[in-house]
């Protein structure tokens, strides 16, 4: 299993909308950055992803699970980009802000900090555990 972070602007697609999508999940589409698309292609069924509200909030708000591996993104007329389908897993009672992540020295290597514009990025297991623990504080 691999771990990821996926960004969405909450006024476009929020954790609450993801939850409402239910068991069938929803496509994570519209990604037009080649590095982010490559990350989508690397996802496997069962992988877990932090759900990050970008622009508004700038915080990790929950977890989703990949339930369908990469396929051609129906919103891409060129047919070059892919989507995956993700299912709501949990919503954090207390979101983890980007500010609090930046303050943790053990997380300074994350793409969330180093490549702030990347919308889909890997997260190593140690960082996954640290961030999950931060959600319980």
- Does some domain include residue 136? no
Q: Is residue 18 part of a domain?
A: yes
Asked whether the CA dihedral 115, 116, 117, 120 is positive or negative, the reply is positive
Domain count, the chain: 1
In a domain, 44, yes or no: yes
105: in domain: yes
Domain holding 50, by residue range, is 3-124
| CATH code for the domain in which residue 94 is found | 3.10.590.10
> With 90 as the cut, is the pLDDT of residue 125 above it?
yes
Length in residues, the chain: 137
For 17-60, what is each residue's pLDDT tens digit?
999 999 999 999 999 999 999 999 999 999 999 999 999 999 99
End-to-end CA distance of the chain: 25
pTM of the model as a whole: 0.96
Mean pLDDT of 51-71: 97
The per-residue pLDDT for range 100-111, each reduced to its tens digit, is 999 999 999 999
45 three-state secondary structure: coil
User: Is 19 domain-assigned?
Assistant: yes
- 116 lies in some domain: yes
Q: Which of 102, 103, 97 is nearest to 135 (CA)?
A: 97
- Sequence-ordered alpha helix ranges (H) in the chain: 15-20, 34-41, 98-103, 111-114, 125-134
The token duo for 51 is 């759900």
- Mean pLDDT confidence for 69-90: 97
Q: Which DSSP category does 73 fall into? A: -
* DSSP 8-state assignment for residue 137: -
- Is 98 part of a structural domain of the chain? yes
Distance CA 43, CA 136 (A): 26
* 136 pLDDT above the threshold of 90: no
């Amino acid at each position: 299993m691999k771990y990821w972070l996926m960004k969405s602007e909450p006024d476009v697609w929020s954790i609450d909308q993801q939850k409402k999508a239910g068991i069938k999940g929803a496509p994570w589409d519209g990604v037009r950055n080649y590095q982010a698309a490559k990350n989508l292609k690397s996802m496997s069924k069962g992988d877990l992803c932090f759900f990050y509200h970008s622009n508004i909030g700038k915080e990790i708000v929950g977890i989703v699970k990949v339930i369908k591996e990469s396929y051609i993104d129906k919103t891409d007329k060129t047919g070059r980009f892919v989507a995956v389908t993700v299912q709501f897993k949990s919503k954090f009672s207390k979101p983890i802000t980007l500010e609090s992540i930046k303050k943790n020295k053990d997380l300074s290597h994350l793409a969330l900090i180093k490549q702030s514009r990347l919308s889909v990025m890997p997260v190593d297991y140690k960082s996954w555990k640290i961030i999950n623990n931060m959600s319980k504080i």
